Amino acid sequence: MKILLVEDEAKIARFVRKGLETQGFSVTVSGDGDEAFALAAAGSFDVILLDIMLPGRDGLSILKELREHRNTVPVILLTARSEMNERVEGLNLGADDYITKPFFMDELLARLRAVVRRTSGETLSVLRSGPLMLNLITRHAQYGEEEIIFAPREFSLLEHLMRSPGKIFTRDQLLEQVWGYGFDPQTNLVEVCIRRIREKTDRDGEQFIETVRGVGYRFKPEGNRE
């Protein structure tokens, strides 16, 4: 999936781009409204993440002109909490959704997937690995026929790892990509969450999440979980 990220705050742009690329998305970044409009008008993007306040052309004028030219690419607005009028105007102009800054990466990913499902007609999105199943739409989890109850952050962390089996993620990467930026790097949130997931999933000789000593964690591919 190709995404155009229009954001002039370099820190946010780096954070979002890294999180999206980790999930396998192809990301083009622009921090200028005029350049962004040219890219959006000429490119074949699947989704545009569009900040409202930009140097050059602002986000709402970009959205308005795209819709006037019958460009139906899904648009998610990135807004500040104080921009209520702009959010309303954006939705009236044809935005598909909005998310307020600061936000968690998993919330952005959830909104992104929801917009893609609505525009593509997709009705089901499921991750499976052996007896473990995550339904990303209902946020329902099962081990075989048994339902597993995960806390929201546990589900998001497990989903993140399951999407890239075999890939090692450091603690800092998981904090940034699952919890969002701004957390104390000394926190033990990741370790606690991993332990709770293991308590619910490791059974019958299956061990889904591996600790790579001195590096981080990875979701074990099928056939390599003894």
170: phi > 0 → left, psi -120 to 50 → alpha, else beta; which?
Answer: beta
Tell me the pLDDT tens digit for each residue of 47-105: 999 999 999 999 999 999 999 988 888 999 998 866 678 888 988 999 989 898 888 88
Higher pLDDT, 63 or 120: 63
Residue 123 has pLDDT above 80, yes or no: no
The pair of three-digit structure tokens given for residue 172, joined into one six-digit string: 């800092």
> 194 and 149 in contact (C-beta within 8 Å)?
no
Q: What is the mean pLDDT of residues 176-180?
A: 76
> 210 and 53 in contact (C-beta within 8 Å)?
no
Higher pLDDT, 43 or 151: 151
Question: Hey, what CATH topology would domain 2-120 get?
Answer: Rossmann fold (3.40.50)
Instruction: State the amino acid at position 6 in one-letter form.
Output: V
Residue with tokens 């192809």: 26
Give pLDDT, residue 172. Answer: 86
Question: Hey, what CATH topology would domain 126-219 get?
Answer: Arc Repressor Mutant, subunit A (1.10.10)
Per DSSP, the three-state class of 35 is helix
Higher pLDDT, 95 or 165: 95
The pair of three-digit structure tokens given for residue 151, joined into one six-digit string: 């806390």
Task: Give the residue extent of every domain in the chain.
Answer: 2-120, 126-219
d(CA 50, CA 192): 35
Give pLDDT, residue 143. Answer: 94
d(CA 7, CA 11): 10
Residue with tokens 């699952």: 178
